Structure 1
Amino acid sequence: MDGIVYFTLVPALVMGLAALLSGGLSWQHDRGWRLFKGLTITALLATVVSAGIVAVHAWSAPPASFSMFGLFVSPLQAMMACLVQLLGWVIGQFSARYLEGEAKQKNFVTALSLVLASVHVLLIADHWLLFVAAWSAIGFCLKHLLCFYAERPFALLASHKKTAADVLADSLLMLTALIAYVETGSAHISVFVAHVASHGLSQLSSWCALLLVVVVVLKTALLPVHGWLIQVMEAPTPVSALLHAGVVNLSGYVLIRFAPLFEQATLARHVLLAIGLVTCLFASLVMFTRVSIKVRLAWSTVAQMGFMVVECALGLYTFAALHLLGHSIYKAYAFLSAAEIVTHTRVQRMAGKSVFAKLSLILAPGLTTLLVFAVQYSAGAQLWPAWWSLVLALAWAPLLWQVVGQSSSLRLQSLLFGTLLTLLLTLVSVLFHHLPLGIQDHPDLAAGWLTVLAMGLLYAATIMIQWMPARLDALHRWVYAGFYLDEFYTRWVLRLWPVSWGKSTHANY
């Protein structure tokens, strides 16, 4: 089955060819984009074919993973690779129209192609050096996309802050690779993971787990280094879609890949849980105060990344993989269609004077809890713990919230749609757990109930925001400013790594 491993490299080579050809072209809009679109389709088809082959073997002999010459392919990698190449094709299609008339389209296509190639290599890399090099290359190529409008100081600031986080993360990742090599005598990730799974956690491997937690925090834009992800709104919309739908999600994949390590490393897992919960609660509250659609989406991404990290810290890796897929697809759609969204979200349109709005806030969690438990137990097996069903019910309760000014028929339609969507999401979760992805869940009971409490407090805070907005005016400024955490981080970065961009500007964040 060596051919499968080799064939999975084809998409990366195709996107590398796209970067090479676009870099050497005398750029013409139609000709250049036509070539890029053709190569992205080729890469996508090659990825689908290789994923199909892996899926066939997974069903016949799960988990059907293949490793050789520094590459590792499993159903999870194949699924992720399909997602990445699909997003690359969609973003490319959108960019061809969005960037028409721009002067640096050639540079954009070159950088985008290299990002897609590097992400693909990261997904299938099994050698530590290849893994580190691919993740580092993603950050380097993204810098050119973030600075597409070089005359915008906030774009340069966001890029600078991300570069600072990437440099530290890459250095720590290299240190992690060195420690893993000393521990196992091998430079392959699969050997290290298998060693920890069979021999347990040593002092060196526990340091690897803690270092990976810091790397994930830096790469995923969790607190307190989240600010650059908000400020990339200064970059073109396709870049925002690429970041929020694809690149920041990679840390979730990395946590799933190193699941056997984190199952042994209790301290690292609890640190990850604490950071994830705080990030999720903090970003969710800040999101309520924002008016700009794209900025709200950016804060939503920070919250979702925190929630994804929480899922991994709780040992619910199957849910984390499903969350990764769903969030990537949704955020790509949301950013690429943001120009058409001119009304506020449901939360913004809710008013304290509406009786139905108040009742929906209170009753929605109870109804979603009934729906989740009904679908879960009708499946014939308890695929996840009961406390996680409560978390899902709280997370999906906003689907049943009512909007001010609706007629009785519209309220009924909204309720039915929210109910059906909740049932569909739960059913998809059940089906996803039966896929042979090679993922093993190990739920943490004590941490699980702590998560239920945290989600309950977040939901209670949501009710207070809707019912008593006047009483929270004193906190509004602090919440709107993100409690000034990003300002402290920005000053720290500029003090350690000073840089000047000339004339300053202001933006509404």
Structure 2
Amino acid sequence: MKISPLFYLTCALAPAALMGALAGLTRLNLGAPAKLWRLFQKASLVALAFAVMSLAVNAHDAYWPGAVTATSLSLVLGLLVQLLGTVIGTFSARYLEGEADQRRYIGALAAVLTSVHLLLLADHWLLLIAAWAAAGMALQRLLCFYPERPFALLAAHKKRIADRLADVMLLSAAVLAWREIGSGSLTALWAHIAVQGLSQSLQASAVLLVLAVALRTALLPVHGWLIQVMEAPTPVSALLHAGVVNLGGFVLIRFAPLLEQAGAARALLLMLGLATALLAGMVMLTRISIKVRLAWSTVAQMGFMLLECALGLYTLAALHLIGHSLYKAHAFLSASSVVRETRVQALHGDASRSGASMALAPVLTTSGVFLVLTLAGLAAWPWWWSVVLGLAWAPLLWLPAAQTDAAARTTQLFFGILTAVGLTLAALAAHMLPLGLHDAPDDRLGVIALMGMAVLYLFQVLLQKQAQLLSRWRRWSYAGFYLDEAFTRLALRLWPAHWSPTSSSAVAARPADAPR
């Protein structure tokens, strides 16, 4: 039976329409917050049903060129966004019980979901830019839900600066592309590139796009606001880290036809992504606060995801985006239980550090497995990415240096190997999903990425075995290499913000990245 394109587009756009209508209704006086939360949950479940339906029918030929289009990836992410929005909304209803101004919170949450749904379906530069800007402005209201907290205000101010700079660069990229092809349609842009390749204007447009994504995705050195939003409610952190900040990865995947031929843009993206992944990964190793570690982890993961896009591994980047969203939503919403588990491990003296003697063997083991898969034609990635995965998963095979019980060491090694095998099979199986993506790996950039990840692994080993040698580095790392302090001073000098004297003194007296 042929599915009507109108029915298909209705299913695809219904989640955005429902959440947008709900955002509008919150401006009316509809009663107590509990009633609004029930309305939000019902609307979210209906939107979730439409998201499932749109993914089930998935009529690829049904779209409005130059307005909206639904790809397999955008439908999968639309379902993921609505699922996370429903869960986070349900969690928020209990978390904020008794708080003032819940109506504003519900409206802002619904507005964020509406904007993200529209961005995922955008087939025009203006719709994409407007939806991304709207998502950021709605999120600002959530970040400042507690306006008396100075660090929340500072984080929101720095995010606003980064967002507006990103808007300027996106508009500039759109103007260059529009003038080149005579249309703001992204579908028309892909068709033009396929026939005529990239001109100098489109090369410049790609560079501006990369810079805009770096600003929106909190890459170094504009990452500080992502760390400092820990003062916002926990469900807001879950929404930000699991959803909104990941949008940069989707935009780059969407613009894969442009990036594939833009050598300068890919090289710039590689440098930004690799530097962010390395530095944020080092900082995360020295942090203590659970939520701050999670925030630094997000910065590192964003760098890693954009690195995958620079290397042309778009399928891996999409899978990384989905996995990171699910993990971070769970991690933030269950942060309190993680704290309890960490305390229990500390009381029991759980040793989780390994000796340097066990640092090389795991790399050889995991990398060897991946290389065999690659040479046998079973892996869906180049040989150099096999070694990168080997470096990333080798710590699973590290054994505690203090562990002397042979049986316990054997058991831990067995479960480490089992986990690595499970992750490998999951990665291979996930590549079979019909996401409609085509990879374009670059071997030269891949070797550079491999060397960078080897440096990070070396620091991990030295941190476990020779911590005394890195005492000075640990101080710099704990402070985030002072990159955020430099950006904050520059931002406040160029775009001053005004707080009350009490708030200003609190900001000045407290380290910018202090655990909370």
The two structures have a TM-score, normalised by structure 2, of: 0.92
Superposition deviation, residue 301 in structure 1: 0.5
Q: Aligned pair 1:489/2:492, yes or no?
A: no
Partner of 1:31: 35
Deviation per CA, 1:337-393: give whole Å up to 9, x if none: 1111125599999x9x99964444332222222343455566x54421111111111
* Structure 1 counterpart SS, 2:148: coil
Please say which of residues 116-125 and 196-205 is displaced more in the overlay: 196-205
- Letter aligned with residue 28 of structure 1: A
Matched residues in 1 for 2:495 and 2:189: separation? 35
SS at match of 2:26: helix
| Match 1:420 to one of 399, 418, 421 | 418
Tell me if structure 2 keeps the 8 A contact 1:375–1:426. no
CA 1:346 to 1:474, structure 2 compared with 1: closer, same or farther past 3 Å? farther
Deviation string, structure 1 residues 130-150 (Cα, Å, up to 9, x no partner) = 111101101110110000110
Q: Give matches, 1:295-444, under 5 Å.
A: 295-342=292-339, 343-344=341-342, 357-374=355-372, 380-403=377-400, 408-444=406-442
Residue type of the alignment partner of 1:228: W
Matched with 1:14 is: 18
CA distances 1:297-345 after superposition (whole Å, capped 9, x unpaired): 1000000000001100001001000000000100111111111112559
Partner residue, 1:5: 9
Unpaired segments ≥5 residues, structure 2 = none
Amino acid at match of 2:440: H
1:52 aligns with 2:50: no
Q: Is the Cα contact below 8 Å between 2:190 and 2:257 reproduced in 1?
A: yes
Which of residues 166, 171, 181 in structure 2 aligns to 1:174? 171
AA aligned opposite 1:365: V
Q: How does 1:194-233 map to 2 (within 5 A)?
A: 194-233=191-230
Cα 1:381–1:72 shift into 2, 3 Å: same
Alignment match of 1:144 (pick from 141, 145, 164): 141
Q: Is the 8 A contact 2:355 2:464 kept in 1?
A: no
Q: 1:89-238 counterparts in 2 under 5 A?
A: 89-238=86-235
State how far apart, in whole Å, the 2-side matches of 1:436 and 1:178 are.
33
Distance in 2, matches of 1:198 and 1:244, equals 38
**8 Å Cα contact 2:370/2:379 also seen in 1:** no
1:278 is aligned, of 251, 263, 275, to: 275
Task: Determine the C-alpha separation between the residues in 1 that align with 2:441 and 2:472.
Answer: 39
CA–CA separation in structure 2 for the residues paired with 1:195 and 1:304: 33
> 2:236 corresponds to which residue?
239
Q: Which segment is superposed worse, 158-167 or 452-461?
A: 452-461
Please list the CA deviations of residues 456-491 of structure 1 after superposition, one character each: whole Å capped at 9, or x if unmatched.
111011111111111211222211111111011111
Equivalents in 2 of 1:408, 1:25: separation in Å? 67
Per-residue CA deviation, residues 5-28 of structure 1 (Å, 9 max, x unaligned), is 232110001111221223324442
Amino acid at match of 2:454: G
Q: Are 1:11 and 1:46, in contact at CA under 8 Å, matched by a contact in 2?
A: yes
Q: Distance in 1 between matches of 2:187 and 2:344?
A: 45
Letter aligned with residue 452 of structure 1: L
In 2, the alpha carbon distance for the partners of 1:372 and 1:152 equals 48
Deviations, residues 261-283 of structure 1 (Å, cap 9, x unaligned): 11111011001101111000000
Alpha-carbon distance, 1:89 to partner: 0.8
Q: Which residue identity is paired with 1:441?
A: D
Bigger mean CA offset, 92-101 vs 135-144: 92-101
- What's 1:476 paired with? 474
Using the alignment, how far apart are the partners of 1:316 and 1:348 within structure 2?
A: 39
Which stretch has the larger CA shift, 144-153 or 362-371?
362-371
In 1: Cα distance, 2:333 partner to 2:226 partner: 17
RMSD: 2.4
Name the residue aligned to 2:449. Answer: 451
3-state SS of paired residue (2:69)? strand
- Give the number of equivalent residue pairs: 501
**Does structure 1 retain, via aligned residues, the 8 Å contact 2:374–2:383?**
no
**Equivalent residues of 1:371, 1:423 under 8 A apart:** no
CA distance in 2, matches of 1:216, 1:346: 40
Distance between the aligned counterparts of 1:456 and 1:90, measured in 2?
38
Mapped contact 2:173–2:209 kept (Cα < 8 A): yes
CA deviations 1:114-157 (Å, max 9, x no partner) are 00000000000112111111011011101100001100000000
Q: Which amino acid aligns with 2:466?
A: M
> Structure 1 residue 449: deviation in Å?
1.1
Percent identity between the two aligned chains: 51
Distance 1:345 1:244 in 2: 24
Deviation of 1:408 after TM superposition, in Å, equals 4.8
Q: Is contact 1:27-1:106 (8 Å) kept?
A: no
Partner of 2:81: 84
Quote the Cα distance in structure 1 between the aligned partners of 2:183 and 2:295.
40
